[in-house]
Chain A
């Protein structure tokens, strides 16, 4: 079973920030939080990952709570092309990690409204 919990769907207006929550209350100390998204009929696409500090890249920002039991993915200025299913996954990375397949939960279907 997936180790994360996400709302099944969310709506967001185009141009506004989309904030996608994820609960991972059983996360281990060596597990990272990863976010992927899947646009309809395509393979998943990596977005961002983090361990405990907040992270930002050209696509999104990741805010991880201090106790690491939850996180929020932020798309600062959502566009129609951001409509997709967003998956939050916890996994071990670094030496010894990255050799296993990923366990996908149901994700959040984010719909950007014009």
Chain B
């Protein structure tokens, strides 16, 4: 069964609004989680590393004020896309390590209209 769960799996929002995506580790604690973005016909690109109890670290070119990450507990990280625009439409995927193995959520398809 799944060890990392993402919610929602699909969301449509209006341009200018904010969207929150949740990533949960099931039956294990994850002090670190990772957020990826995948555009159509492209590979996954790491956006940021979410650290429990401290600030997230962002990859070059990723706006930290636009993609807010909160990792308030050992089993939950959230990614909030603020003031979403159509170019933010993408497939967002989270990941966590359990026993040094990477497990991925099922992904969230965000469509901004």
Contact = CB atoms under 8 A, between A and B. Distances in A.
A93 B102 CA distance: 10
B104 A104 contact: no
Interface stretch (B13-21, B43-51, B65-73, B76-84): B43-51
Sort chain B's interface into a size bin.
Answer: 20 to 34
Q: Which DSSP category, helix, strand, loop or mixed, fits chain A's interface?
A: loop
A104 B97 contact: no
B34 A101 contact: yes
Given A41-B91, A98-B97, A99-B32, A104 B102 contact: no
A25 interface: no
Contact of B104 (A44, A94, A105): A44
Contact of B107 (A41, A98, A102, A105): A41
Contacts, number: 52
Given A41-B91, A97-B100, A99-B32, A104 B43 contact: yes
A113 interface: no
B95 A101 contact: yes
A107 B45 CA distance: 13
A114 interface: no
A43 interface: yes
Interface string A64-97: 0000000000000000000000010000011001
Interface residues of A, number: 22
A57 interface: no
A45 interface: yes
B101 interface: yes
A94 B100 contact: yes
A106 interface: yes
Interface in A7-36: 36
Given A99-B32, A101-B36, A42 B107 contact: yes
Interface of A: 36, 38, 41-46, 87, 93-94, 97-107
